[in-house]
């Protein structure tokens, strides 16, 4: 919007993920995913670890429980990405900085009996997968996802998923721990012709203002922010009896971000366009995106052509 970059355009290879996974011993498996990304102007490409963990099956059957250790999934982002096409951009809590999608630590996942859902808990550093640990504090989180109609209904209702998650963290301050807490609610349905999802999340962060004069005491400032997001993917040319999703779809998403609940500093993010899956591995999208409003968010609007290849 405006300025010297008003007519800016580019070709960009945003990410290349390479995943290797497999068994290493009875009940034990591993996963390694590298993230190849452009490090900046003149710096070429860099490789960093996105996921790198061991997965051990503690129990099997009705209450199947797995233990993971290493660089692993955080509490909610990967779950939400099962409904949203990640190659169009991050989900709301990832895009707007609640936490990163991976972090180093340990996690437990349990599948609930009768296909009722799953529970995921973790303890992680809290710095994400792009930075090393910087203090002694750890972040703890838990998510419960329920699929209450999976065995009691058919069609679109059977795909209903309802989730709640909480994230309790801290960072180091000169006078002690500073609050870094989040929570959220998420609901989705995922059929062959229609995918709908909505979520609402809130974060509270404390920052420490350093003392100005020698001998004086600084003060702690608390700020709350909220994100409400919803999206729909409509595939109009499918049939009710289809078991596979039709290749053509229309996608729309709206994020409302309140960067400061106290001051009402808000902005919105909007995406709308079309998706076409050429085959099971290759898909493309033409879409419009904009981000407007807010004192801290950089505004933009533009047309995007996205291509994804899974192999």
C-alpha to C-alpha distance for 137 and 126, rounded to whole angstroms: 8
pLDDT of residue 122: 99
pTM of the predicted protein model: 0.90
Among residues of the chain, what percentage have pLDDT more than 90? 73
In the block, residue with structure tokens 């404390």: 206
65, with CB counted inside 10 A (0-12, 13-18, 19+), is middle
Cross-strand pairs, 252: 232, 272
The dihedral formed by the CA atoms of 252, 227, 72 and 31, expressed in degrees to the nearest 10: 0
pLDDT of residue 63: 95
Task: Name the CATH superfamily housing domain 16-309.
Answer: Porin (2.40.160.10)
pLDDT of residue 215: 55
21: Cα separation from own chain's centroid: 21
Considering the chain, what is the average pLDDT of its residues? 91
Length reported for the chain: 311
pLDDT digits (tens, 9 = 90+) for 207-260: 887 655 555 566 788 999 999 999 999 999 877 667 789 999 999 999 999 998
**Contact status, residue 207 vs residue 175, Cβ threshold 8 Å:** no
CA nearest to 245, candidates 254, 233, 263, 232: 233
Among residues of the chain, what percentage have pLDDT more than 70? 94
pLDDT digits (tens, 9 = 90+) for 246-299: 999 999 999 999 998 888 889 999 999 999 999 999 999 999 999 987 777 788
pLDDT of residue 293: 79
**Contact status, residue 35 vs residue 48, Cβ threshold 8 Å:** yes
Q: 105: phi > 0 → left, psi -120 to 50 → alpha, else beta; which?
A: left
| 95 has pLDDT over 60 | yes
CA nearest to 99, candidates 77, 68, 72, 121: 77
pLDDT of residue 3: 41
pLDDT digits (tens, 9 = 90+) for 112-137: 999 999 999 999 999 999 999 989 99
Q: Kindly report which listed range (97-106, 170-179, 187-196) carries the lowest average pLDDT score.
A: 170-179
pLDDT digits (tens, 9 = 90+) for 131-163: 999 899 999 999 999 999 998 878 889 999 999
The count of other CB atoms within 10 Å of the CB of residue 120 is 24
């Amino acid at each position: 919007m405006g300025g010297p970059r008003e007519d800016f355009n580019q070709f960009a290879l945003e990410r290349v993920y390479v995943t290797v996974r497999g068994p290493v011993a009875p009940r034990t498996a591993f996963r390694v995913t590298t993230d190849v990304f452009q490090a900046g102007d003149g710096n070429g490409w860099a490789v960093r670890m996105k996921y790198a963990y061991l997965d051990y099956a503690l129990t099997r059957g009705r209450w199947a429980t797995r233990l993971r250790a290493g660089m692993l999934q955080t509490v909610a982002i990967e779950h939400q990405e099962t409904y949203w096409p990640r190659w169009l951009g991050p989900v709301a809590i990832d895009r707007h900085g609640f936490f990163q999608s991976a972090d180093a630590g340990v996690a437990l996942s349990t599948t609930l009996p009768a296909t009722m859902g799953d529970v995921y808990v973790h303890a992680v550093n809290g710095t994400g997968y792009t930075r090393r640990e910087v203090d002694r504090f750890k972040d703890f989180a838990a998510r419960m996802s329920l699929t209450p109609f999976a065995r009691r209904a058919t069609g679109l209702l059977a795909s209903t998923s309802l989730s709640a998650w909480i994230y309790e963290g801290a960072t180091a301050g000169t006078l002690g721990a500073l609050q870094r807490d989040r929570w959220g609610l998420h609901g989705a349905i995922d059929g062959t012709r229609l995918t709908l999802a909505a979520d609402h999340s809130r974060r509270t962060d404390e920052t420490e203002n350093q003392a100005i004069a020698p001998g004086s005491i600084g003060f702690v400032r608390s700020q709350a922010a909220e994100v409400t997001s919803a999206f729909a993917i409509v595939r109009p040319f499918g049939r009710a009896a289809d078991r596979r999703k039709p290749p053509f779809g229309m996608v729309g998403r709206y994020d409302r971000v309140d960067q400061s609940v106290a001051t009402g500093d808000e902005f919105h993010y909007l995406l709308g366009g079309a998706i076409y899956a050429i085959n099971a591995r290759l898909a493309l999208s033409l879409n419009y995106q904009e981000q407007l409003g807010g004192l801290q968010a950089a505004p933009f609007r533009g047309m995007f052509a996205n291509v994804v290849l899974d192999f």
